[in-house]
Amino acid sequence: MAIRVNPKLIDDLEKYGSEDVSNCYHCGNCSAVCLHTKDPFMFPRRPMRGLQMGLESKLKHSLEPWLCYYCGQCSEQCPREAEPGETMMALRRWLTAQYDVTGISRLTYRSWKFDLLFVLVLGALTCAGLLWYGFTHGDIHVYSGPSAFLPVEFVHLFDLGLAVVVISLVVLNSARMWWLIIGSRKDIKVPILHYLRGVYLLPLHFFTQKRYAACTSKTPWAFHLVLVLGYLTMLLLISFFLAQLQAGPEINWRVHVFGYLAGIGILVSTIFILRSRLKQTQTQYKHSHSSDWMFLSLLLYVCTTGILQHVLHRTGLDLWANVVYVAHLMGVVGWLSRILNKWMHLAYRPLAMFFGDLMAEPLLETKKIPEVAQMQPARAA
């Protein structure tokens, strides 16, 4: 069967953050040292070879980049400094763009200028909407109560609208991922019962990141887990306890203590990751894409403005608390827009574990997964 190739694929992947892919001469050291690679999913060598050969369609349907947690050992052991770990990261960004039904992630990943403009426009629209509602329905000198500038009922509806958008995108993009990896393949048939049997893998990998924990260094895993659990806790608090959080200025310790712990966890983890990327202390932080900086910057902004808004309200400075609250919500919308790129990794990684479990047995039984090195491209497109 003819295999269509894209000779410009390597150049395209550079815009997603790949490094010296052409330096790879397939010695196999990267796959040999990887703790997670095993038949039928062999990486990083197989995706590296597919990328060099321009096998765009094969890579688009590949699960292997998601099974890599970028511990960095492959890049450390590469004799040609081809940075296979960073290439797997670039492939994950590229795949995220393939799954995205809106097409926006492709633009934000390929251009930091578009990404920044996108965030600024979202922030400006959010600011205009909040100020219009606040000045027409409340008093900017009042933070909570009947005449509040941004009453809890309005903020709750605002959050609900954001949640609907976020959940819709997660479902649609996850369905797209399933279709490309399993649904569109004619050589793999997965019975419904197998989906039900392995569904426990989704919460297991989502809440523990246990595959990341198996990598050599536990420190990045620990901070990443604290970060994830921190903003999941804040999400639950805002979704179900917003009235208690916004009331005051008295502190409701039964609710706020969880917010304080989550806020501290987010702030400390974000600072640790930013510091690691700036100092490049570990292999996985040696290279940073513009989307990495945007995500962490927005997260730091949202966390600090949230803390400042809370302090201003508790000290009775309601005017400034409302001003900072608007600024905070502007950042929240921009940060939630990361659902189109960085955020979706939280969904795609557990799904990859799930799909890998579903596909492993059929692939091993039928021997349907050929070595990329044995594929001969027929023509360029």
DSSP letters for 201-238: HHHHHHHH-HHHHTSS-HHHHHHHHHHHHHHHHHHHHH
pLDDT of residue 55 exceeding 80, the answer is yes
At the topology level, CATH places domain 4-99 in Fumarate Reductase Iron-sulfur Protein; Chain B, domain 2 (1.10.1060)
Angle at 178 between CA 288 and CA 118, to 5 degrees: 40
pLDDT of residue 88 exceeding 90, the answer is yes
Element containing residue 197 per DSSP (H, E): helix 192-198
pLDDT of residue 315: 92
pLDDT of residue 188: 82
CA distances from 216 to 1, 71, 74, 104 (A): 41, 7, 12, 35
pLDDT of residue 372: 43
pLDDT bin (cut points 50, 70, 90) of residue 380 is very low
Quote the CA–CA distance of 89 and 106 in Å, as a whole number: 15
pLDDT bin (cut points 50, 70, 90) of residue 376 is very low
SS3 of residue 282 by DSSP = coil
Q: Which residues contact 173 (CB under 8 A, 6 or more apart)?
A: 99, 100, 101, 344, 347
Quote the CA–CA distance of 19 and 142 in Å, as a whole number: 53
The stretch 82-95 carries a mean pLDDT of 93
pLDDT of residue 216: 66
Quote the CA–CA distance of 142 and 290 in Å, as a whole number: 39
| Tens-digit pLDDT profile for residues 293-346 | 999 999 999 999 999 999 999 999 999 999 999 999 999 999 999 988 888 988
pLDDT of residue 13: 92
The stretch 110-134 carries a mean pLDDT of 96
CA distances from 305 to 18, 41, 120, 187, 330 (A): 34, 43, 16, 51, 10
Give the sign of the dihedral formed by CA 231, CA 217, CA 97, CA 356.
negative
pLDDT bin (cut points 50, 70, 90) of residue 367 is low
Element containing residue 379 per DSSP (H, E): strand 379-380
Q: Which residues contact 378 (CB under 8 A, 6 or more apart)?
A: 2, 3, 4, 5
pLDDT of residue 98: 95
pLDDT bin (cut points 50, 70, 90) of residue 3 is low
pLDDT of residue 291 exceeding 90, the answer is yes
| Cβ atoms 294, 93 nearer than 8 A | no
pLDDT of residue 325: 95
pLDDT of residue 284: 83
pLDDT of residue 175: 96
Provide the mean pLDDT of the chain: 88
pLDDT bin (cut points 50, 70, 90) of residue 187 is confident
| Tens-digit pLDDT profile for residues 252-276 | 898 999 999 999 999 999 999 999 8
pLDDT of residue 26: 87
Most confident of the following: 174-183, 351-360, 362-371: 174-183
pLDDT of residue 371 exceeding 70, the answer is no
Specify the range with the lowest mean pLDDT, choosing from 67-71, 97-101, 133-137: 67-71
pLDDT of residue 128 exceeding 50, the answer is yes
pTM of the model: 0.89
| Cβ atoms 36, 68 nearer than 8 A | yes
Specify the range with the lowest mean pLDDT, choosing from 1-5, 323-327, 346-350: 1-5
Quote the CA–CA distance of 334 and 338 in Å, as a whole number: 7
Please choose, from the candidates 92, 77, 73, the residue with its C-alpha nearest in 3D space to the C-alpha of residue 342.
92
CA distances from 215 to 48, 157, 344 (A): 21, 41, 22
| CATH 1.10.1060.10 location in the chain | 4-99
- Sort 129 into a burial class: Cβ within 10 Å, 0-12 / 13-18 / 19+: middle
**DSSP notation for 32-58:** HH-SS-BTTB--SHHHHHHHHHT-HHH
pLDDT of residue 248: 76
Please give the structure tokens belonging to residue 335: 């940060």
